[in-house]
Amino acid sequence: MRISIITVTQEGDNIAETLKKTIGGDIDMISRQDVERLFTEREAFIFIGAMGICVRTIAPLIGDKHTDPAVICIDSTGRNVISVLSGHVGGANQLTREVAAAIGAMPVITTQSDNQGLWALDTIGEDFGWKAVPNNGMNDIITTFVNRRPTALWLETRDRGTDHLEETRPEHVTIVSSEEELSQQDFALCIIVSPFRHAVPDGMLCLHFVPSAVSVGIGLAHQAGPTEEVIDNIRSVIAAKGIMNESCRYATIDIKSDEPVVKRLIADGENFTFFTAEQLSEITVPTPSDVVAKHVGTPSVSEAAALLMSNGGEMLMEKQKGSNFTVAAAIDRKWLRRGHIEIVGAGPGDPDLVSVRGRRMLERADLILYAGSLVPRELTLCAKDGATVRSSADMNLDEQCSLMKSFYDRGAFIVRLHTGDPCIFGAIQEQMAFFDEHGMSYHITPGISSFLAAAAELRSQFTIPERCQTIILTRGEGRTPMPEREKLHLLARSQSTMCIFLSASIVDDVQAQLLEEYPEDTPVAACYHLTWKDQAIYRGKLKNLAEIVKSHDLTLTTMIVVGDAIDNRSNTSLLYDRKFTHLFREGV
């Protein structure tokens, strides 16, 4: 942001210098007399001093919240930071929080939706790339919402924005999925996120957020015109199919880039993509044309462009012909609200150590399928009412995949909960192969691995300057064969910090192989049920590793750590060397 700071005291100057070093951005210091001249050029003003001076300075300059800059005021003692003007739209509320954090002050924000933890309806669309289409004044809509009048939420696409709405839905908001559901309750407001047009009952306020989700391909006759008439006709065809024109991104063949219709659409701010005839000819379309192929080198322009732009998505509208144009529409499948599987890393065991995102996924899930033999059930207690929670401990792979697919096919949100981080000995590869085979949507939320929990619980830094700079994550060879090049005694040659998973039952072989390379007095730790309520950690020397494990009846849920990094306090990092930090500051 381009920010100007206005101060009136020496104390204010000191605060300003702190801000210039901490909050970033293009910051300059100006006098109070400069504010009028720069009011429309700067994105934000920070007054440091009395609120009265701030208000009297900006009062004659205030115009509209959609164009006014953000204005905040810091009292001369630096105790309070107050959002004064353009809280949401201009970003003053967010700047207030950042400045308060930078100087250790109290943020003062009076916007009702912020104080109640409600969505900022006037800016949330911009945050997620949606266009806002209200059926009434935005102030009336916001007032209705912040007064907690019954509100319907109708979501027809899925992106990070709709995920956010679902995760943070206030109690007065009810999710609906059809006009019938919308008419069954006495809603005062309906918030829609969809590329499709929908009617709401008479008298109901509506805020329609329109994502740019629809790919529209157009074909044009040479010098098709009149230009405005062609554009109006194209938009009328799109609207007749229930598609919001605000949702459209356009595409055509590159040889039409100089057509008046294309130039006008671009001038109007429409997003346009151009493809070559070669690219378009590779797309299989519903209605190819030999005539089109003869003239431009591809059997389709409008349908092929729509499908190519939507990454091979689903047709919403096959080719429609006008007198001098064709138009077709498709949507990328990523936007469709269908089933989804989130593979979530549960962390090492303590429910507090699942990630914030992982917790949100669990709270949203219609089905939680968790590895019951390794993941504490306490992690699933945050499930929403009506969710299905199943342990997979007594299920084979086919049964697990079948259960997830049955929920997926109903459009459900599924969490597959694995211990630690699912990518480390997580057995997710076979599941992902199944998802890929059936074209299912899935994503991985990483988790805290037990080797990180081991470092934390041992109070040890696993990379020590001049001693070891490598961590090896591996397992001993039990029922699962190890590649010859990854035998423990070969990995041990580096004498790195080694974290050995799933190997307590073969500890004799593990100890024997490690002793081929590590000294027998190398520190070891056997860590059982890390972060669980019954966690137990046993330290010792490598020569006693097998005895430690056996004497305490440790099981497969034991992490074995080997290396000089355990409890090492003798080596220090150059990070804190004064000469090193000086060079770092200078960019050397």
- Confirm whether 179 is domain-assigned: yes
Query: 560 with 504: CB under 8 angstroms?
Result: yes
Residue 535 sits in a domain of what CATH number?
Answer: 3.30.950.10
Q: Are residues 289 and 373 in the same domain?
A: no
Q: Measuring CA to CA, which residue among 547, 541, 544 is closest to residue 522?
A: 541
> Tell me: the pLDDT tens digits for 358-370?
998 999 899 999 9
Q: What is the pLDDT of residues 275-308, one digit of tens each?
A: 999 999 999 999 999 999 998 999 999 999 999 9
Position 579 scores a pLDDT of: 58
pLDDT at residue number 329: 97
In a domain, 281, yes or no: yes
143-165: average pLDDT? 92
pLDDT greater than 50 at residue 79 = yes
Q: Are residues 262 and 279 in the same domain?
A: yes
User: Could you tell me the strand order of the sheet in which 367-370 lies?
Assistant: 388-391, 367-370, 413-418, 340-345, 442-445
Residue 314 host element (H or E): strand 314-321
Residue 177 near residue 91 (C-beta atoms within 8 A):
no
d(CA 556, CA 502): 5
63 and 16, same structural domain? yes
User: pLDDT value at position 355?
Assistant: 94
252 and 327 part of one domain: yes
What residues contact 548, with CB distance under 8 A and at least 6 apart?
524, 526, 538, 540, 554
For 445-484, the pLDDT digits (tens) are 999 999 999 999 999 999 988 888 999 999 888 777 888 8
- Say which residue the tokens 């949203």 belong to: 364
**172, 14, 134: which is closest to 78 by C-alpha?**
14
Q: Which helix (H) or strand (E) holds 453?
A: helix 450-458
Q: Could you tell me the CATH number of the domain that includes residue 36?
A: 3.40.50.11220
State the Cα–Cα distance between residues 433 and 439, nearest whole angstrom. 10
Residue 113 lies in a domain: no
| CATH assignment at residue 402 | 3.40.1010.10
Q: pLDDT exceeding 70 applies to what percent of the chain?
A: 96
Domain-ending residue, one of 161, 186, 211: 211
**Cα separation of 507 and 446, whole Å?**
29
Confidence of residue 572 (pLDDT cuts 50, 70, 90): low
Average pLDDT, the chain: 90
Residue span of the structural domain in which 282 resides: 214-335
In a domain, 244, yes or no: yes
SS3 151: strand
Residues 154 and 94 in one domain: no
Mean of the pLDDT values across residues 246-272? Answer: 94
CATH of the domain at 288: 3.30.420.180
Q: State the CB neighbour count (10 A cutoff) for residue 556.
A: 13
How many helices (H) and strands (E) in the chain?
Answer: 22, 26
Residues 444 and 463 in one domain: no
Q: How confident is the model at residue 64 (pLDDT cuts 50, 70, 90)?
A: confident
The verdict on 195 and 239 lying in the same domain is no
pLDDT in tens, 82-141: 999 988 778 898 899 999 998 989 999 887 666 677 888 988 998 899 999 999 888 899
Q: What is the pLDDT of residue 76?
A: 86
| Residue 408 placed within a domain | yes
Final residue belonging to a domain, choices 300, 335, 370: 335
Q: Report, as an integer, the average pLDDT of 488-507.
A: 92
Domain boundary among 401, 420, 448: 448
Total number of domains in the chain: 5
In a domain, 118, yes or no: no
**pLDDT for position 490:** 93
* DSSP run (H or E) holding 190: strand 189-193
pLDDT of 588 higher than 50: no
How far, in whole angstroms, is CA 437 from its chain's centroid? Answer: 25
- Torsional sign, CA 69, 75, 76, 80: negative
What's the confidence (pLDDT) of residue 114?
Answer: 65
Contact 384, 364 (CB under 8 A): yes
Q: Are residues 26 and 76 in the same domain?
A: yes
Taking alpha carbons only, the member of 330, 349, 123 closest to residue 218 is 330
pLDDT of 178 strictly over 70: yes
Judge whether 313 lies within some domain. Answer: yes
- Is there a single domain that holds both residue 295 and residue 383? no
Nearest partner of 108 among 135, 72, 132, judged by Cα:
72
Note whether residue 488 is domain-resident.
Answer: yes
If pLDDT is split at 50, 70 and 90, which confidence band does 575 have? low
Same domain for 441 and 530, yes or no, is no
Q: What pLDDT sits at residue 583?
A: 47
189-198, 236-245, 387-396, 481-490: lowest mean pLDDT where? 481-490
Q: Is the peptide bond before 226 cis (omega within 30 degrees of 0)?
A: yes
Using the predicted structure, report yes or no on whether residue 586 has a pLDDT greater than 50: no
**Which pLDDT score is estimated for 581?**
52
Same domain, 428 and 466: no
Residues 313 and 410 in one domain: no
How high is the pLDDT of residue 11?
85
Q: Are 409 and 402 in contact (CB under 8 A)?
A: no
